[in-house]
Amino acid sequence: MRAAAAFAVGLVFGLVLSWSGMTSPDVLRDGLLFRDPYLMLFFASALATAFVGLRVLKLVQARALLTGEPVAWTTVRPARHHVVGSVLFGVGWAVADVCPGPIAAQLGQGVAWSLATTGGLVLGVWLFLQRAESAEG
């Protein structure tokens, strides 16, 4: 059930990202250069919807439908690594005009170029995990 629910949400997410042009580098670039307001409006309306939806869940003290646990979340205090990581991510995002969700959707669409981006993404995550592990060990 858990797996099916996560898969279904991912499928809708990937389909909407694709259909909105988030898998098209030109749409992303036009958004970041303010040539087309689509990206900003799309992002802002997604965020506003998520904000309201999560408030409602909290307000009605909802329990997770499949696990029964109370819906709850934690917030995180900002630290230097959030800024440093986001600068690195921002550079990659602007150059490749794609972020992790759309990279997965591009793979599904059969965009051959995404194999290169995926290779890099996997390598980047792997490097981070190695670093984290050696820091712990």
Partner 1 sequence: MHQQLAWYVGGPLLGLCVVALRWLLNERLGATAAWSEAVELVAVGRRRLGTGGWLLLGLIAGGVVFGAFGPGLDGYGWLTDTFSAPVVVLVLVLSGVLIGYGAKLAGGCTSGNGLSGNAVLSPASLVATATFFGTAIAVSFLIEALL
* Contact status: 133 vs partner 1 (CB under 8 A): yes
- Phi, psi (rounded to 5 degrees) for 34: 60, 25
What lies within 8 Å, CB to CB, of 54 at 6+ separation is 73
State yes or no: residue 134 binds partner 1 (CB under 8 A): no
Binding residues for partner 1 restricted to 52-91, rule: CB under 8 A: 53-54, 57, 62, 64-67, 69-79, 81-91
- Tokens standing for 66? 């499949």
CB of 14 to partner 1, least distance (A): 2
Q: Which x/- pattern, by CB under 8 A, does the window 29-48 give for partner 1? A: x--xxx---x--xxxxxxxx
| Separation between Cα atoms, residue 134 and residue 42, nearest integer Å | 40
Provide the minimum distance between the beta carbon of 30 and partner 1 in the complex, in angstroms, as a whole number: 10
Q: Is 136 in the site for partner 1 (CB under 8 A)?
A: no
Among positions 59, 61, 130, 134, the unique one binding partner 1 when judged by CB under 8 A: 130
Q: Read off the tokens for 75.
A: 């917030």
